[in-house]
Amino acid sequence: MADDNKTPYEVLGVAKTASDAEIKKAYRKLAKELHPDLTGGDAAKADRFKAVSAAYDLLRDAENRRRYDAGEIDASGQERQQEQYYRQYAENDPSGRYEYEGGFDDLGDLFKNAFRGGGRSRGGFSSGFGEDFSHMKMRGQDLHFHMEISFREAVEGGKKAVTLPEAGRLEITIPAGIEDGQTLRLAGKGGPGANGGAPGDALITISVAEDPVFTRDGDDIHMDLPVSIDEAVLGGPVEVPLPGGRVRLKVPANSSSGRVMRLRGKGVVRANGRAGDLLVTLKVVLPQTEDPALAEAIRKWRAEHSYDARANWEGNRK
């Protein structure tokens, strides 16, 4: 791939000092340009998409980014252990990451070191030290992808069709409550293994599109609700949209703009039944066109009932 010798920052086209937001913005832009579902099966773009997804997967994790910048891991997330043998890794790694069937990525450093002293044997790979790896079972590579979903899909979950280079078209399950930046793992849908080794997994990083009405904070959903001047003064029921429907809310009389009303259990509902709240901020909206009758009524009201709206305002204390 053309991106093999580039750093993750270069792959994404950002500076090493880029903020998390800048990295995310660059990734989303490239993902929309290169995603296999949008590029008609262009192999070169599919390869670039894999590289871009892998770079973002590394840099979006603060600890991995720190370790990469410090030279502790390489661009694939592997430890930078020099001139060490596979057996040493296996014996010293209780996580089992370097097990016998650990995969192409896990054995990358081994082969790099091995080829410094030798090449291929007649039957396959040779370490240069008399060892032949041609019959070793090796797990396939994990492949990285990106998928953008709507705010409603993130809240409610559901099914989504995706096209993966190695696995073709699949229908995947989006769990209710999934958050921006989370990764779905599709076991066995990655690169093929070698010599009977298991295939790798497909890792799909989720981006949640911005919504014009709703924002999210944990499992709580926030929204601004426009109300008319009469609804604010007199109160009354109004319909409030939800990501998956509508609910009636009773606006209390004499409600100021900025008042927050909480609808318990109307936020994000997790698979375990835990639910957040919907927080509705009232925004008083005047008529779009000037209303002489309303203006006259307010003049009369102000003459007898005027009040200081900024009496307790923090700005008066400065």
pLDDT for 24-71, tens place per residue? Answer: 889 888 887 887 666 666 778 878 888 888 888 889 888 889 889 988
Q: Report the alpha-carbon distance of residue 56 to residue 11 in Å, rounded.
A: 9
169 and 183 fall within a common domain = yes
Structure-derived torsion over alpha carbons of residues 56, 61, 66, 68, reported in degrees to the nearest 10 = -40
Residue type at position 29: K
Gap between the terminal Cα atoms of the chain: 60
Question: Residue 118: pLDDT above 70?
Answer: no
Q: Of 186, 208, 230, which marks where a domain is finished? A: 208
223 and 276 fall within a common domain = yes
Helix (H, G, I), strand (E, B) or coil at 232: helix
Q: How many domains does the chain have?
A: 3
- Percent of the chain surpassing pLDDT 70: 79
| Better-predicted residue by pLDDT, 128 or 28 | 28
Question: Residue 123: pLDDT above 80?
Answer: no
Q: What integer pLDDT is reported at residue 190 of this predicted model?
A: 86
Q: What integer pLDDT is reported at residue 107 of this predicted model?
A: 34
CATH at residue 149 = 2.60.260.20
Assess contact for 1 and 51: CB atoms under 8 A: yes
218 and 185 fall within a common domain = no
Q: Which two tokens stand for residue 167?
A: 């696995």
Assess contact for 311 and 280: CB atoms under 8 A: no
Assess contact for 170 and 111: CB atoms under 8 A: no
181 and 244 fall within a common domain = no
Q: What integer pLDDT is reported at residue 256 of this predicted model?
A: 92
Q: Is residue 135 part of a domain?
A: no
Q: How many residues can be counted in the chain?
A: 318
- Domain limits at 299? 214-303
